């Protein structure tokens, strides 16, 4: 197998860590050449040195001098700011891993869709905010889009070569998050410390809070809609606390196939990075069903987890609504994490922003249109945040 070169967007994050683990386990098959980070120059410099990358780009322009200084004498070139990130994305690579968090990853992900490229997509916001535009561009340039989100990765693998017309429906599983068994009153009083305790995964703060509210599963439903080209009513969620089954495909004839693995992002990362020939996993990453906890499944409770209901409504509404929902949620989660909003304020703010937007807005046709909806919605969310009832924490 020839060596495959990798560009890692979001290299210092949690998905970035999983990808780096897989690359370092397979040095004869994979090499990271380019790394991109957000604001943390020291962390990015360290990752660039550890991975042996030849170029590092930081999104935050102000961090450029610190990054350059930290890389002095290493021979690793660096840049900072939007242009540097786009330069990093344009550099030759067999696989680009899109693992920047939030709508901030939109532009780089879109720019990564170049002819012949393979994109391993963790940044679900690209599909939530600009699903049609991303899928059309990928098809136009014949870029291969691989889902790195574990549920979508499982569904992708289960689907295999089956045509879409063979599929009756797809089910994404959810852990239920740290509040799965909590009463509505207890959830209402939860702070960041409780929300940041995911039962199975260590992830970035934003997605961990989204898992606690179950907004993450709603965003994933929207992601799946575009990725697989399904109708909204063909997508479903089941709460499955053990997170062994990640996705289920129900075929037209009633057959159901499950995608299973240990709850470890490195499994999905290994599948994407080994798309042209499976990579070997260490023994600890193999699933032993005989010793795992009994598998259980239940319907999500939309009364205690209204964020999921809002996302399902945006999925059905379509157009620009998923982008509005995502932007409002990003503002709400940031406010929750800094103590400006209660946990129950997250869905309340999202609902208020969605209700305030004109429902007729078309789905963004390009990244500029998606970013315009994103910015509009953020402004609306920030303005509502400074008004009652959101000012009462």
What number of chain residues touch ligand NAP (CB under 6 A)?
28
278 CB neighbour count, 10 Å cutoff = 9
Binding range to ligand NAP, per CB under 6 A, among 8-16, 131-139, 163-171, 362-370: 8-16
Q: Does 375 bind ligand NAP (CB under 6 A)?
A: no
Q: Does 101 bind ligand NAP (CB under 6 A)?
A: yes
* Nearer CB in complex with ligand NAP: 232/337: 337
Q: State which of residues 29, 117, 124, 137 lies at the interface with ligand NAP (CB under 6 A).
A: 124
Q: Quick check: bond before 104 cis, omega within 30?
A: no
Q: Does 215 bind ligand NAP (CB under 6 A)?
A: no
Q: Does 104 bind ligand NAP (CB under 6 A)?
A: yes
Q: Does 37 bind ligand NAP (CB under 6 A)?
A: yes
What is d(CA 364, CA 368) in angstroms, rounded to the nearest whole number? 8
Q: Is 219 exposed, middle or buried (0-12, 13-18, 19+ CB in 10 A)?
A: buried
Least separation in angstroms between residue 225's CB and ligand NAP is 16
**Span 66-85, contacts to ligand NAP by CB under 6 A:** 85
Torsion, CA 219, CA 57, CA 367, CA 224, rounded to 10:
-30
What is d(CA 168, CA 306) in angstroms, rounded to the nearest whole number? 26
Q: State which of residues 6, 15, 146, 370 lies at the interface with ligand NAP (CB under 6 A).
A: 15
Q: State which of residues 39, 72, 375, 383 lies at the interface with ligand NAP (CB under 6 A).
A: 39
**Span 149-178, contacts to ligand NAP by CB under 6 A:** 149
Q: Does 59 bind ligand NAP (CB under 6 A)?
A: yes
Q: Does 207 bind ligand NAP (CB under 6 A)?
A: yes
Q: Does 265 bind ligand NAP (CB under 6 A)?
A: yes
Nearest alpha carbon to residue 102 among 80, 136, 128: 128
φ, ψ at 57 (rounded to 5°): -125, 135
Contacts of residue 378, defined as CB under 8 A and 6 or more positions apart, other chains included, come to 327, 328, 330, 331
Binding range to ligand NAP, per CB under 6 A, among 139-147, 172-180, 196-204, 251-259: 196-204
What is d(CA 150, CA 132) in angstroms, rounded to the nearest whole number? 21
Q: Does 11 bind ligand NAP (CB under 6 A)?
A: yes
Nearest alpha carbon to residue 264 among 17, 31, 45: 17
Q: State which of residues 7, 14, 109, 118 lies at the interface with ligand NAP (CB under 6 A).
A: 14
Nearest alpha carbon to residue 10 among 107, 91, 117, 97: 97
Q: Does 204 bind ligand NAP (CB under 6 A)?
A: yes
Q: Does 147 bind ligand NAP (CB under 6 A)?
A: no
* Nearer CB in complex with ligand NAP: 59/113: 59
Question: Which DSSP letter does residue 28 get?
Answer: T
* Nearer CB in complex with ligand NAP: 244/384: 244
Which contacts qualify for 41-49: CB closer than 8 Å, 24 or more apart? 41/66, 41/67, 41/70, 41/80, 42/66, 42/70, 43/12, 44/11, 44/12, 45/70, 45/71, 45/78, 46/70, 47/11, 47/12, 47/16, 47/20, 48/11, 48/74, 48/76, 48/78, 49/74, 49/76
Q: State which of residues 26, 45, 125, 385 lies at the interface with ligand NAP (CB under 6 A).
A: 125
* Nearer CB in complex with ligand NAP: 94/125: 125
Least separation in angstroms between residue 128's CB and ligand NAP is 9
How far is C-alpha 256 from the geometric centre of its chain's CA atoms? Answer: 26
Q: Does 247 bind ligand NAP (CB under 6 A)?
A: no
Question: Which DSSP letter does residue 53 get?
Answer: -
Q: Does 132 bind ligand NAP (CB under 6 A)?
A: no
- Interface residues with ligand NAP (CB under 6 A) are 10-16, 36-40, 59, 85, 99-101, 104, 122-125, 149, 201, 203-204, 207, 265
């Amino acid at each position: 197998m020839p060596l495959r070169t990798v560009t890692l967007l979001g290299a210092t994050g949690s998905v970035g860590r999983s990808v780096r683990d897989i690359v370092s386990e397979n040095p004869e098959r994979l090499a990271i050449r380019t790394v991109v980070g957000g604001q943390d120059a020291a962390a990015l410099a360290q990752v660039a040195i550890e991975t042996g990358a030849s170029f590092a780009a930081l999104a935050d322009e102000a961090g450029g001098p610190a990054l350059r200084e930290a890389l002095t004498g290493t021979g690793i070139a660096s840049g900072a700011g939007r242009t540097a990130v786009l330069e990093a994305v344009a550099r030759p690579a067999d696989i680009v891993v899109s693992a920047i968090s939030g709508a901030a990853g939109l532009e780089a992900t879109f720019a990564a869709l170049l002819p012949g490229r393979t994109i391993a997509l963790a940044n679900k916001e690209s599909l939530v905010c600009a699903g049609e535009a991303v899928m059309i561009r990928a098809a136009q340039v014949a870029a291969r889009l691989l889902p790195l989100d574990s549920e979508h990765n499982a569904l992708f693998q289960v689907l295999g070569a089956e045509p879409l017309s063979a599929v009756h429906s797809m089910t994404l599983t959810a852990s239920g998050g740290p509040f799965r068994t909590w009463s509505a009153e207890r959830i209402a009083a939860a702070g960041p410390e409780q929300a940041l305790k995911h039962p199975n995964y260590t992830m970035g703060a934003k997605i961990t809070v989204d898992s606690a509210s179950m907004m993450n599963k709603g965003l994933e439903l929207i992601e799946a809609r575009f990725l697989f080209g399904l109708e909204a009513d063909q997508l479903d969620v089941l709460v499955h606390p053990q997170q062994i089954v990640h996705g289920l495909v129900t075929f037209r004839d009633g057959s159901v196939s499950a995608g299973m693995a240990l709850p470890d992002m490195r499994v999905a990362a290994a599948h994407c990075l080994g798309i042209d020939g499976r990579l070997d996993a260490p023994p600890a990453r193999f699933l032993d069903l005989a010793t795992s906890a009994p598998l259980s499944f239940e319907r999500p409770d939309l009364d205690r987890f209204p964020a999921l209901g809002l996302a399902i409504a945006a999925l059905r509404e379509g157009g620009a609504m998923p982008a509005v929902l995502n932007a409002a949620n990003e503002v709400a989660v940031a406010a929750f994490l800094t103590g400006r909003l209660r946990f129950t304020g997250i869905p309340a703010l999202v609902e208020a922003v969605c209700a305030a937007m004109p429902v007729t807005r078309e789905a963004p046709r390009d990244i500029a249109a998606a970013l315009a909806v994103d910015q509009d919605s953020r402004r609306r969310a920030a303005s509502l945040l400074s008004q009652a009832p959101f000012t009462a924490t």
